[in-house]
Chains A and B, each alone.
Chain A
Amino acid sequence: MNAKTYEVHLEMFEGPLDLLLYLIRKNDLDIQNVPVSKITSEYLSYLDLMKELNLDVAGDFLVMAATLMQIKARALLPSQEEGTGFEGPDPRLELVNKLQEYQKFKEAAGFLQKRADEWSDVFYRGAPTFAERDKALNIRIFDLLATVRDVLDRAEAEGRVVTGEEYPIEHKMDKILAMLAEKPYVTLREIFVGERRRKAIIACFLALLELIKLQRVFGRQEGPFAEILIYKKETPPEIVTAIWPSEELPTPSPVQLKEEPEPDPELPEGGPALDRESWLAAAPDAVQEPEENNDGRP
């Protein structure tokens, strides 16, 4: 027979403890007084069988085999005088405790399964979801730029000069994602909070555009001149923040930077491209929104 022609993954035994419990139940043994030598030979023969069937025998199974043999060897040694205290932790007792503990959780798992089955016929409302088109960047580019302009103006006012600092866009991206980890959305302005210098603000803005491009966040605006809100896309590269799952996770759709019909001629080629240098150079002049947009938001 050709060895290794196929491999089988058997999920029936969840691990060595599971196999041991099975053997104990099968032989109707008392878990407290497991005859180690009998159970060891059975355990090893199952291990052989699993290997023979080309089953993937995990290392955990082999470790357990070693433990069993250790216990068996210990039992064969002449018993030491009682109460000498040389013995240290009894591996047999440890194993029995582990088995008993695991068994409880196995039963608890069965209980959960039963509950899940009972409740599988109860349905709840799905989340009110954003339609896919709402997740595109439906922001007026001028409002976007006006906000940045406004923030930049404030930066001038505070004008403290620290030279020789770098503002990696990656750091700013991390900052924005960190803000969004705590709440569902932030306002565009909040993203710039704590940024004093023009370059830092611009790096922040570029970081935001990059995140939108990477579909990690999206922006929404209720209407012209309304506050721009930045939301996190729910497809989670970071499962750490376990959001309440909506019935259907939105499949990421291509987010396009929809430019206004008449794009600002002073913008660098290709809209707000991520060419940092040209942006840094162009920024102060590129944003020429009328004053009316400074509607004095905090």
Chain B
Amino acid sequence: MDAPELKQAVETLLFISDQPLDAAKIAAALGRKDKDAVAAVVAEVQKDYDERGGPVRVIEIAEGFQMATKPEFAPYVRNLYKERMTMRLSTAALETLAIVGYRQPLTRAEIEEIRGVEVIAALETLLEKALLKVVGRRETVGRPLLYGTTPEFLRHFGLRSIADLPPIDTFKPSEPTEAEKAALTEVDPVDGEPVTVAVEAPAEQEIVAVESEPAEAEAAAETEGKSEEA
């Protein structure tokens, strides 16, 4: 296989794959042992796509590479797949994901210890959506199941690997959400007066940005730009 053909083969695999491919997987599919050389070709293909400036990019995501559409064309994709539901996660689900993301592998009881409330329902949903998976059992009494995150978890949150999560100690308290305020303002049983809380800058902006590929950063910026317009 000469160089141009190799590059096209790599591009083909990236095109057809429904999940992120790492160099090892691509090399295996091509029947090659030189993983590093393949990784270099992947980088070339990625660069080609970036330079071409087309609507599809090769991004590094979930411990591999995958073709992805650009955010600015999202509305049309949504139109095309109107009937498909977008995955919307509840607060309970997100908290559970955060806990597992940082503390994995851990048992259900350990998640509940942190959340102070049972998580069975949320956990089941997350397993079903393949954002979490069972990774083993703890060798203690009852051999409880241990949970961990999946590649889909990484992809859903736009992470290259679990190490992309900012350190847990970077998170600081935030103000009550608008929903919380609205819901409780009228019925504050304690002082009988509407509750008002000084609104400061949303805590999200304090959060250390995840170190991103230039392409990803661009994507994030584009998305942010759009949400501000909205």
State the A residues within 8 Å of B (CB).
11-12, 14-18, 22, 25-26, 28, 31, 41-42, 45-46, 48-49, 58, 60, 64, 98, 101-128, 236, 239-248
The count of chain B contact residues (Cβ–Cβ below 8 Å) is 79
Measured between beta carbons, the chain A residues less than 8 angstroms from B166 are 111
Measured between beta carbons, the chain A residues less than 8 angstroms from B165 are 108
- Which of B89, B102, B157, B187 has the most chain A CB atoms closer than 10 A to its own CB? B157
Measured between beta carbons, the chain A residues less than 8 angstroms from B116 are 15-18, 60, 64, 98, 102
Closest-CB distance, B2 to chain A (whole angstroms): 27
Among A42, A102, A110, which residue has its beta carbon within 8 angstroms of that of B114? A102
- With A26-B176, A108-B101 known as contacts, the answer to whether A126 contacts B168 (CB < 8 A) is no
Determine if A124 and B18 form an interchain contact, defined as CB atoms under 8 angstroms apart.
Answer: yes
Determine if A240 and B223 form an interchain contact, defined as CB atoms under 8 angstroms apart.
Answer: no
Measured between beta carbons, the chain A residues less than 8 angstroms from B98 are 105-106, 108-109, 111-112
- With A42-B190, A117-B227 known as contacts, the answer to whether A112 contacts B158 (CB < 8 A) is no
Among B68, B90, B117, B133, which residue has its beta carbon within 8 angstroms of that of A16? B117
Measured between beta carbons, the chain A residues less than 8 angstroms from B227 are 117
- With A60-B117, A239-B128, A245-B130 known as contacts, the answer to whether A14 contacts B18 (CB < 8 A) is no
Q: When chains A and B are docked, how far (Å) is the Cα of A114 from the Cα of B207?
A: 11
B88-104 interface bits toward A, Cβ cutoff 8 Å, 1 = contact, 0 = none: 01111011011101100
Report B152-207 residues with CB < 8 Å from chain A CB.
152, 155-159, 165-166, 168-169, 171-176, 179-180, 183-184, 187, 189-190, 195, 197, 203-204, 207
- With A22-B176, A45-B189, A247-B18 known as contacts, the answer to whether A109 contacts B150 (CB < 8 A) is no
| Interface residue? B134 (CB, 8 A) | yes
Write 7 A-B pairs (CB below 8 A) sorted by A numbering.
Answer: A12-B183, A42-B190, A110-B204, A119-B156, A119-B157, A125-B17, A239-B128
Determine if A128 and B18 form an interchain contact, defined as CB atoms under 8 angstroms apart.
Answer: yes
Measured between beta carbons, the chain A residues less than 8 angstroms from B156 are 116, 119
| Interface residue? B8 (CB, 8 A) | no
| Interface residue? B219 (CB, 8 A) | yes
- Per DSSP, chain A at the interface is helix
Closest 9 CB pairs of A and B: A15-B117, A242-B133, A121-B74, A107-B171, A121-B71, A119-B158, A127-B18, A17-B116, A108-B98
Quick one: closest A residue to B223, CB to CB?
A118
Closest-CB distance, B192 to chain A (whole angstroms): 11
Determine if A14 and B127 form an interchain contact, defined as CB atoms under 8 angstroms apart.
Answer: no
Measured between beta carbons, the chain A residues less than 8 angstroms from B28 are none
Closest-CB distance, B150 to chain A (whole angstroms): 6
Measured between beta carbons, the chain B residues less than 8 angstroms from A45 are 189-190
Measured between beta carbons, the chain A residues less than 8 angstroms from B117 are 14-18, 58, 60
Closest-CB distance, A135 to chain B (whole angstroms): 18
Determine if B97 and A109 form an interchain contact, defined as CB atoms under 8 angstroms apart.
Answer: yes
| Interface residue? B224 (CB, 8 A) | yes
Determine if B71 and A122 form an interchain contact, defined as CB atoms under 8 angstroms apart.
Answer: yes
Measured between beta carbons, the chain B residues less than 8 angstroms from A126 are 18
Determine if A242 and B132 form an interchain contact, defined as CB atoms under 8 angstroms apart.
Answer: yes
Determine if A246 and B18 form an interchain contact, defined as CB atoms under 8 angstroms apart.
Answer: yes
Determine if A244 and B176 form an interchain contact, defined as CB atoms under 8 angstroms apart.
Answer: no
Quick one: closest B residue to A95, CB to CB?
B116
Report B17-51 residues with CB < 8 Å from chain A CB.
17-19
Quick one: closest A residue to B124, CB to CB?
A239
Measured between beta carbons, the chain B residues less than 8 angstroms from A98 are 114, 116
